[in-house]
Structure 1
Amino acid sequence: MKKTVFIADEDISIDSLVRVVQRMDKSLDITLCSSIESAIPILRSRRFDALVFDLWLQADTSALGSLPDDSSILSGYYLYKFMQKDDACQNKNTPYAILTGLSISEHPKILDLSKQLNRFFIQKPVRPRQFIDIINELITKR
């Protein structure tokens, strides 16, 4: 099984995407976390093959420590940065993708991230086949 964690705080559209993806590709085992608070212990306790973060997690970011003013709009990215510094995290080198419904022009760092991640910066809405292809590409990238 290809173990992936998907961290997104959205409504049933994300749940639906995950269900469809898992029906289409039975080799994917996707753990869905709905908040930063629920993601941290999972990222510390389990090893994953790929990570997918929603860029804007509307949640309490205090668990991530002191953050810049743009932390709410980029909270998924800061969660990833937090993991890289967290000694307890088992996923420091796990390949990742960022998913967002935000426009690239909404914040300068979003444009920077889109350039840095290139194909692994995904604009919503995302089709199930595209999602599967990206996860598989992340895993083979390891």
Structure 2
Amino acid sequence: MKKIFLFSIILIFLVACEDVNKRDELGRTPLMYAARDGNLKKVKQLLKKGADVNLQDKDGHTALMIAAANGHLAVAKLLIANGADVNSKTKEGATPLIYATVPGHKELVKLLLENGADVNLQDNNGRTALRYATAFGYEEIIALLKSYGAKE
């Protein structure tokens, strides 16, 4: 009984001391993987333990970009509420807005715009979210971007 109790105490201590910002070989953190999977419960737990919402992996991706690309609206809302930078850029210059636009996630595009995303930021190839929306024929997203001042 004593051994089980001691083991439980050690296990609780190890979990409590877990480095929530520990990176893997790609520079990704547990928060980034939880955002990718749309695991709102895990995202909440990691944020409560102090996970940094603006860490970038080796390519410059943030948890918000990953959530946006995968269509996880609730996760994106939570990340933004906890200080995620809506205008961060990858090494290629892509933004969360571009990551939400390319797969056609209109509600995520709207969320980002409502929270201050710069509609005219360009990637390293000079492309904006509007240019991507136009290339894919996303008429509703085009109209939304233009309503926030997107320039051709």
State the TM-score bracket (shorter-chain normalisation): 0.3 to 0.5
Q: Normalized per residue, which structure has more strand? A: 1
The structure, 1 or 2, with the larger RCO (C-alpha pairs under 8 Å, 6+ apart) is 1
Considering only CA atoms, is the larger Rg found in Structure 1 or Structure 2? 2
Q: TM-score, normalised by structure 2?
A: 0.33
